Amino acid sequence: MFGLLRPCAHGAAKYGIDAAEWRTHMCGLCLGLRDQHGQLARATTNVDAIVLSMLTEAQSAGAVERTTAGRCALRGMQRASVAAADSPGVRLATTASLLLASAKVRDHVDDGDASALARTPMAKAASRWAGQARLSAQRIGLDVEPLVAALSAQTELEQSVTAGGTGSLARLTEPTQLCASEFFAHTAVLANRPANVDALRAAGWQFGRIAHLADAVQDYEQDLARGRFNPLAATGTSMPQAYDLLRESDARLREAVAEAELAAVPTVRWMLLDPLAGVLRRLGRGIGTVAGHACGIAHDSTDVQMSSRRTRQRRPGIGESLALILGGYCTGYACCAEHTQPCTGDRKDAWLKDCNGDCGDCCHCDCCGCDC
- Residue 347 CA to residue 341 CA, distance in Å, equals 6
Distance between CA atoms of 276 and 4, rounded to whole angstroms?
8
| Residue range 286-309: mean pLDDT, rounded | 38
Contacts 24+ apart (CB under 8 A), 293-300: 293/362, 293/372, 294/372, 295/362, 295/370, 295/371, 295/372, 296/371
Per-residue confidence at 166, pLDDT binned at 50, 70, 90? low
pLDDT digits (tens, 9 = 90+) for 299-321: 333 333 333 333 334 444 444 44
Q: CA dist 322 to 29, 95, 106, 326, 351, Å?
A: 20, 21, 14, 6, 23
pTM for this one? 0.77
Between 175 and 298, name the one with better pLDDT. 175
- Span of 21-25, 171-175, 351-355 with lowest mean pLDDT: 351-355
pLDDT 10s digits, 247-282: 999 999 999 999 999 999 999 999 999 999 999 998
In sequence order, what are the beta bridge partners of 82?
Answer: 67
Q: Which residues pair with 83 in a beta bridge?
A: 66
